[in-house]
Amino acid sequence: MLFSTTFFRVEVRRQFRNPYTLVFTLGMPIAMYLLFGAGAEYKDASAGNGNVAFYVMASMAAFGTATAMTSLCSLAASEVGQGWGRQIALTPLSIPGYAAVKLAVALTFSAVSTTGVFVVGVFTGAHADSPWLWAAVAALVLAGGLMFGLFGLGTGLAFNSDTAASLASIAITLFGFVGNVFMPLSGAMLAVAHFTPMYGYAALVRWPITEGALISGGSDSIWLVLANFAVWALLFAGLVRLGVLRSRRRR
């Protein structure tokens, strides 16, 4: 069996009862948008094809999705490493099916997080020049966020512990601060940010709004942004491979 709708519903309900999941994947992105976007005195200022509130809203949606994908996928990997895979083997659901259900749960929470930020954005003045920009940003948020599912899987397999989710979420927050997600960076900090995991992802999410223009001045090449995203996706895939090998040695 490659997918179980019953298992999917159980997992979604379980995560909605998890206060950690609700705070970090749903509450935190909205709170940070309200702080940096809706609560800013310059929120109505123009920012490319939208206003500053819309720009910040897109950034916080990206952060929420990265957090959801990372934390939930790391938990899934940890469960397999702790022996849950043996329990799954006693059911019709295959290990790939188990992974598919967990990925679907992570995508569901990512979609809920993005929707929550967008709804708050609608009621607090976020504006885009064309309606299609909302859909374009949402699609890039969810599609690009899959990269952080790889990061979560790799972290969970490497640490094989429930603490992997916490470590991964802390890492995502750090990536956000140094990756030009929470506040516009400039100078040496911006130069360093170009090499961090969240930079390419956030820049892709904001591309329909800014078309590469930076708030601090200058602009990014789409090829630079895509290269950052591709390199980190490959590195995270390599982390998953190393985690799989390590988990096999432990068994």
**pLDDT on residue 233:** 95
> What is d(CA 41, CA 60) in angstroms, rounded to the nearest whole number?
18
**pLDDT on residue 156:** 79
User: What burial class does residue 25 get, using C-beta atoms within 10 Å of its C-beta: 0-12 exposed, 13-18 middle, 19+ buried?
Assistant: buried
**pLDDT on residue 61:** 96
Helix (H/G/I), strand (E/B), else coil: 213: strand
Q: pTM of this prediction? A: 0.89
**pLDDT on residue 169:** 77
Mean pLDDT, contiguous 10-residue spans, the chain (251 residues): 80 83 84 86 88 94 93 75 64 72 88 94 93 96 93 79 72 92 90 95 96 88 96 92 66 51
Joined together, the tokens standing for residue 107 give 């995508």
Joined together, the tokens standing for residue 55 give 């720009």
**pLDDT on residue 103:** 84
- For every residue of 22-86, which 3-state class applies, written as one string? HHHHHHHHHHHHHHHHHCCCCCCCEECCEEHHHHHHHHHHHHHHHHHHHHHHHHHHHHHHHHHHH
Distance of CA 141 to the CA centre of its chain: 8
Helix (H/G/I), strand (E/B), else coil: 148: helix
**pLDDT on residue 53:** 94
